[in-house]
Amino acid sequence: MPEPEILVFSAHAADFCSRAGGTIALYAKRGASIHVVDITFGERGESEDYWLRTELRSEEEAKRTRGEEARAAAAILGATIEFLDYGDYPLLIGRERLERMARVIRARRPDIVLTHWKRDPFNVDHEATADAVLRAAGMAAVPGFDHQGGKVPFPYIFAFEPTVPRNDATGFAPDHYVVIDEVFETKMAALRALRSQTKLVRFYTQWAEYRGFQASQSAGRAIRYAEAFQRYTATVSDRLPAG
């Protein structure tokens, strides 16, 4: 079986890395093609170290800084990246923006899409991204989209972690744990490249340990670090997964 084509939609600059960086690195190591779409630079809401620096600040410079950081992180993980620059806090996505996202999906025909979880009531940009990705995937799949004819199958869509400090309020209940022990250092290196959010390194180390602990309990073997996902779409196969 060839490695799958993977597409990641990230509301802010760093979400793809903090939530799914290990999984991305793991697939990249095996030779899979992974492309990240950063919907915004997270210039307002997810750049706290940037805004706390003493020198002059502007939204434009914040975007430039965060774009460089995200590009560096993606490169470390082994993924390509592009930026839609839709603006954060609030992120609002209308018709043209939806169509652009659908075109990205239609062009790449991913096997797997990774994005945000649908309920994240204290970080509504994440909800807006999840809604838009599901909607754009539906648009990309219909035969009349862009007058092209032909139906495209829905990709398998998985949600990564919602805002971790508010995790309990989101209904997120992972059904897949990806063991990231062998690429954990790569993920950490990528997180360190996201210099406007220095708190990520310590916090996502602790969280990967927690997810690893859960995975150990399920698997009955020692696992140190894991990332958690919940699927939106069903698997069609001639097997059920076994431990």
Q: Which of 8, 26, 1 is nearest to 78 (CA)?
A: 26
**Which residue lies nearer to its own copies by CB, 3 or 82?**
3
164: number of Cβ within 10 Å: 15
- The minimum distance between CB 185 and its own copies, in angstroms, equals 16
Work out the burial of residue 33: count CB atoms within 10 Å of its CB; fewer than 13 is exposed, 13-18 middle, 19 or more buried: middle
- The minimum distance between CB 160 and its own copies, in angstroms, equals 11
- The minimum distance between CB 94 and its own copies, in angstroms, equals 7
**Which residue lies nearer to its own copies by CB, 31 or 237?**
237
- The minimum distance between CB 221 and its own copies, in angstroms, equals 8
Q: How far is CA 155 from CA 110, 151, 222, 233, 235, in A?
A: 6, 12, 32, 8, 10
Residue 239, by phi and psi: left (phi above 0), alpha (psi -120 to 50) or beta?
A: beta
- The minimum distance between CB 81 and its own copies, in angstroms, equals 20
**Which residue lies nearer to its own copies by CB, 193 or 215?**
215
**Which residue lies nearer to its own copies by CB, 71 or 229?**
229
Neighbouring-strand partners of residue 217: none
3-class DSSP assignment, residue 227: strand
**Which residue lies nearer to its own copies by CB, 35 or 166?**
166
Cβ atoms of 23 and 227 within 8 Å: the answer is yes
